[in-house]
Amino acid sequence: MASGGRPVRALEDWTIRLRGRRTARRGSASRRTWPRCSPSAIPRRFEGPWLARHLRTRLRRTARAASPRNRRAPGRPGRRTRGDGASSRTRLADRPTDRAHPFGHGKNVYFWAFVVSMLLFSVGGAFAIWEAVRKILHPGAHTVSLGLTFGVLGAGFVFELASFVVAYRSLRHEKGEATFREYWRDTRDPTLPTVLLEDSAALVSLVVAAVGIGVHHVTGNPLWDALASGVIGLVLIGVAILLAFETYSLLIGDAAPEDVEAKIRDAVIADEAVTGIAGLYTMHVGPRAILVVLEVRFRRDLTIPALEAAVRRLQDRVREAVAGATEARLVVIEPAPGDETVGRAA
């Protein structure tokens, strides 16, 4: 551990003691024990030169947000680490159910992805277009060194490219044999597409900015710089619209992918008490949590106890069929309309 980590450790110990005193004043019922911070728990981003520190932080945050290995599996708590700011919205979505939110907080992911699309891209795009208009109305020479400008753009490109590579590899691992278009259509988790599109837009914007500044320097015409700013604004706004439409669909309630619904149908049809399915309705209430409502045609010779046993059996089968990538938070099974005679008394 570098010597520069000692002030950080002292600051974190002071914060822990302060939290402990505040908690103690609240009473013994809410008292919590705060473990002493170990040197290994201090994030590495406080070590090393600035460039390496920034790159390590960017790569770790992108990998944690994008890697499928860090995603939450049903019945298993998500893997969390200190300093993981990129996965804060995932932690909000993983909170347990309560009386006000009986189906969980999974849609937090959709809401914050929508906020990102509006703020990070739209506000940035609007500012870039405003900057283009300002440069057209008030052209002027660059007041910053050209070498410094290209140095900053080059460093930013390296950081964004490294982040893009991590996100792209995670995307290839998660989508498997599916094409990118199929993955975009079937995924119900906007985290990885948001990271990938953010990095893609940043890379394109950096290249456009470098070209605009370079042509401006060669020709002496400031309109090229203004044109580059306008193109960057259009790129950011285009990505914002794309993400906004996707997250809007998830916010209002997307159905489960076709392959998940096919597994549900196969599991129900295979039961000996079922003669057909009149309706299947699903809705995602989180990246991996769904609601399932089935209208099932049962055999007419079933007794009430047999019908109740069949419903419980089908609920278990549906949960087993979608287990893994998806969790059936609620499974409702009802006799199809017109089957009022099913379940006669024994």
> What CA–CA distance (Å, rounded) separates 45 from 304?
64
Confidence of residue 85 (pLDDT cuts 50, 70, 90): very low
Of 10, 191, 218, 6, the closest CA to residue 92 belongs to 191
> What CA–CA distance (Å, rounded) separates 344 from 298?
12
pLDDT at 55 over 50: no
DSSP 8-class letter at 341: T
Walk me through the domains of the chain, giving residue ranges and CATH numbers.
1-47 (no CATH), 108-252 (no CATH), 258-335 (3.30.70.1350)
pLDDT at 88: 54
Beta carbons within 8 Å of 308's beta carbon, 6+ residues apart:
none
Show the tokens assigned to 290: 């769904």
> What CA–CA distance (Å, rounded) separates 278 from 141?
71
Q: What is the pLDDT of residues 147-177, one digit of tens each?
A: 888 899 999 999 999 989 998 888 888 888 8
SS3 helix, strand, coil % of the chain, rounded to 5? 60, 10, 30
Of 117, 75, 62, the closest CA to residue 250 belongs to 117
> What CA–CA distance (Å, rounded) separates 173 from 190?
16
Q: What is the pLDDT of residues 114-157, one digit of tens each?
A: 887 888 777 888 889 998 898 888 876 556 678 888 899 999 99
DSSP 8-class letter at 117: I
pLDDT at 231: 94
Beta carbons within 8 Å of 134's beta carbon, 6+ residues apart:
none
